[in-house]
Amino acid sequence: MGSALTGWARPGADGQRPQLVPGWAALRRRWLAHRLRGARFQPLLQPPPANEWVALDCEATGLDVRSDEIVSIGAVRIVGDRILTSERLELLVRPERAVSAHSVRIHRLRTQDLADGLPLREAIEQLLAFIGSRPLVGYYLEFDVAMLNRAVRPLLGIALPQPCIEVSAMYYDYKFHQLPPYQQHANADIDLRLSTLMRDLELPERDAHDALNDAVMAALAFIKLKHLRSS
């Protein structure tokens, strides 16, 4: 996404953060710090705590990252192999336009349910404080990050600087290497639906299209896949 100094990568072979060329992380932090607006956001660029991540999900009024709006944000911290459900963030966001009936059918949040939600900028500031410099984990996280960056860029002067770890990519790699050699090709048929992933990994499912539930499921899958990759 964008500059070569953005943070998208697959996790390293041990399931931890991606391994970078020596000095690359420091170079990237300096590059971002030069563009960052405001000293209060400098902690976002500090080296992240060891073995800590934040699983993240957003619900939106639709799938158009240019025009649709975020209506809820869910995030939970991961430390080692533990999901700290006591350290979670669950925010409702007040959209500028009424929520469509189609959108309500998906995430079950009506316009009146969001009337007392936070303005998007305030929600973003709370989310950034919760994340800090921890890498982000999610299921199809690219959509969530793209939606968030519409508000993050005007606030920070940069996009979200945290490395991002995609659970569906981890699962794809895990399943791909289980295929017989003649099926290991670019068009390998691997079902990446979240419900399939959770059942295959023998993990508990929660109601989907709830931001916190989806964040917790992504965290569960991340921890399980991290172990499977290293075993």
What is the average pLDDT value for the chain, to the nearest integer?
Answer: 89
Across 141-151, average pLDDT: 97
Whether 24 has a pLDDT exceeding 80, the answer reads no
- Do 148 and 124 touch, CB atoms closer than 8 A? yes
How many domains does the chain contain in total? Answer: 1
Pairing of strands 82-92, 70-79: antiparallel
Helix (H) or strand (E) holding 72: strand 70-79
Which segment, 4-8, 12-16, 161-165, is predicted with the most confidence on average?
161-165
Domain of residue 115: give its range. Answer: 24-166+209-216
Across 157-185, average pLDDT: 93
Whether 14 has a pLDDT exceeding 70, the answer reads no
- The answer to whether residue 126 is domain-embedded is yes
- The answer to whether residue 85 is domain-embedded is yes
- The answer to whether residue 149 is domain-embedded is yes
Q: Which residue has the higher pLDDT, 19 or 72?
A: 72
CB burial string 63-95: b at 16+ within 10 A, e below: eebeebbbbbbbbbbbeeeebeeeebbebbbbb
Across 156-169, average pLDDT: 96
pLDDT bracket for residue 15 (50, 70, 90):
very low
Please give the pLDDT value at position 3.
34
Please give the pLDDT value at position 21.
55
The CB density around residue 167, as the number of other CB atoms within 10 Å, is 25
- The answer to whether residue 6 is domain-embedded is no
pLDDT bracket for residue 61 (50, 70, 90):
very high
Please give the pLDDT value at position 2.
35
Q: What is the four-CA torsion angle of 155, 160, 161, 162, rounded to 10 degrees?
A: 140
pLDDT bracket for residue 203 (50, 70, 90):
very high
Across 155-176, average pLDDT: 96
- The answer to whether residue 221 is domain-embedded is no
Q: Over pLDDT 70: what percentage of the chain? A: 90
- The answer to whether residue 50 is domain-embedded is yes
Q: Which residue has the higher pLDDT, 25 or 156?
A: 156
- The answer to whether residue 204 is domain-embedded is no
CA distance 226 to 222: 6
CATH number for the domain spanning 75: value is 3.30.420.10
Strand, coil or helix: 58: strand
Please give the pLDDT value at position 6.
41
- The answer to whether residue 193 is domain-embedded is no
Whether 12 has a pLDDT exceeding 60, the answer reads no
